[in-house]
Chain A
Amino acid sequence: MQFSEETKVMAGTQVAIEEGSYLYCIADAGEKVSLGKIGLEGNKVYTIPCQDVCAVVHHCLAQPYRSEDREVVKAWVRTHQQVVEAAWERWGTVLPMGFDTIIRGEAQKSAEQNVKDWLEQEYERLKSKIGELRGKAEYGVQVFWNPKLVAQNLTHTSPEIRNLEEEIKTKPKGLAYMYRQRLESLVKHEMESKADECFKDFYTRIRKYADDVRVEKTKKAEPGLQMIMNLSCLVHKDRYAELGEELDRINSLEGFSVRFTGPWPPYSFVGSG
């Protein structure tokens, strides 16, 4: 087993650190197997079964993985994902855990036993979640627009904006400035309505191909683009091609572009619900 430098130092002090089980995911199989040394920092990944499900874990100290070094964190996150994917490929359906999900041991009970007990206790819920997710994967869909282009088009299509623009040309400097401010707020307002309209339209079109959808916060986009929609979609594997076709249609609209990622293990659809 390998621990970080920080961990070694901590372990060397008089503070007794309990042992723990780092959980990657719950898989749709009751097997007890080793997946090899594919875990965080080369740890051996193995399964802890309970009836016909199992937890995919590695043995660790009962303390979270932490680092100030972002390359280290990135590597950990990638490794976490690779383990989840290995389990996903092998067993078909998994309930992925987020990073740093660790169950600790106790004085009288090993971490492994605690994982077993937890599986036992949550078995029905886990099993039904697995049933819901079977044959499906998560896809990320992000829709962007070019605000400049959209604003330009609005200028052409909105008579109100066009009139105001015409008026500005005839005004003296000081007044024109005020008019321009009015114009800006008008454009802003129209842009928001347009974004609203697009969101509803795209959402309805995408929803048809998904079993479930989560609306995520929009994020900062590359210069010149603005994200107007950020969805996580749970899609049956037979339907993702249809979704791709629909996204193609959206992508081909002038001023719009679509980012389509996946398949992801269903991280967004295993929440406490």
Chain B
Amino acid sequence: MKVFMEPMRHSQATLVDLLDRVLDKGLVINADLIISLAGVPLIGVNLRAALAGMETMLKYGVMADWDERTRLWEREHRKENVPPICPVVIRE
């Protein structure tokens, strides 16, 4: 069997990755009944500032425009082509 890179999981090393996902992402509920965090000090904000590596700030200011550019490129690219490689199979 071929040796390939195995993903890391469940370690101290992946805590930032976990926080990125659990605090910023996930299924969004658009309902009046959801408890809004607007106006409430958002959980994890302090934590976020305290953790090195959580800052979206780039190490080199010079790269900031570049980062924006690549993200723009990707959005354009996504629009133009890239059909899903694996067809999505919806089980009935």
- Among A104, A129, A218, A222, which residue has its beta carbon within 8 angstroms of that of B35? A104
Task: Mark B7-19 against chain A: 1 for CB-CB distance below 8 A, else 0.
Answer: 1110000111111
> Cα distance A97–B34 when bound, in Å?
12
Q: Tell me if A165 counts as interface (CB < 8 A to partner B).
A: no
A118 with B35, Cβ < 8 A, contacts A70-B50, A219-B56 known = no
Q: Tell me if A259 counts as interface (CB < 8 A to partner B).
A: yes
- Among A236, A247, A271, which residue has its beta carbon within 8 angstroms of that of B28? A271
Task: Mark B70-86 against chain A: 1 for CB-CB distance below 8 A, else 0.
Answer: 11011101000010111
Of A29-37, A75-83, A169-177, the stretch lying at the interface with chain B is A75-83
Task: Mark A113-141 against chain B: 1 for CB-CB distance below 8 A, else 0.
Answer: 01000100000000011011010001110
Number of A-B residue pairs, CB cutoff 8 Å, is 202
Q: Tell me if A196 counts as interface (CB < 8 A to partner B).
A: yes
Task: Mark A229-273 against chain B: 1 for CB-CB distance below 8 A, else 0.
Answer: 100000010011110110110010000001111111001101110
Contact residues in B for A98 (Cβ distance below 8 Å):
22-28
Contact residues in A for B60 (Cβ distance below 8 Å):
147, 226
Contact B67 A218 (CB under 8 A): yes
Contact B6 A215 (CB under 8 A): no
> Cα distance A12–B84 when bound, in Å?
54
Q: Tell me if A67 counts as interface (CB < 8 A to partner B).
A: yes
List the 9 closest A-B pairs by CB distance, nearest first.
A98-B26, A131-B90, A244-B4, A267-B21, A70-B47, A267-B25, A244-B5, A102-B35, A245-B4
Number of interface residues of B (CB under 8 A): 67
Interface of A is mostly: mixed
Contact A267 B29 (CB under 8 A): no
Contact A217 B21 (CB under 8 A): no
Contact A73 B90 (CB under 8 A): no
A260 with B6, Cβ < 8 A, contacts A68-B46, A103-B31, A134-B89 known = yes
A73 with B26, Cβ < 8 A, contacts A62-B35, A207-B82 known = no
Extra contacts, 9 of them, besides A100-B37, A219-B56, A267-B22 (Cβ < 8 A), are A64-B35, A77-B22, A98-B25, A132-B90, A226-B63, A260-B5, A260-B8, A261-B17, A268-B21
Task: Mark A196-223 against chain B: 1 for CB-CB distance below 8 A, else 0.
Answer: 1001100100011111110111111110
Contact B8 A248 (CB under 8 A): no
CB distance from B43 to the nearest CB of A (A): 5
Chain B 19-65 interface residues, beta-carbon cutoff 8 Å to A: 19-31, 33-35, 37, 40-41, 43-44, 46-47, 50-60, 62-63, 65
Task: Specify the chain B residue showing the minimal Cβ separation from A96.
Answer: B26
Contact residues in B for A247 (Cβ distance below 8 Å):
4-5
Task: Specify the chain A residue showing the minimal Cβ separation from B25.
Answer: A267
Contact A196 B26 (CB under 8 A): no
> Cα distance A251–B2 when bound, in Å?
16
Contact residues in A for B17 (Cβ distance below 8 Å):
140, 261, 264
> Cα distance A230–B75 when bound, in Å?
14
Contact B66 A192 (CB under 8 A): yes
* Max count, chain A CB within 10 A of own CB: residue among B25, B29, B56, B58: B25
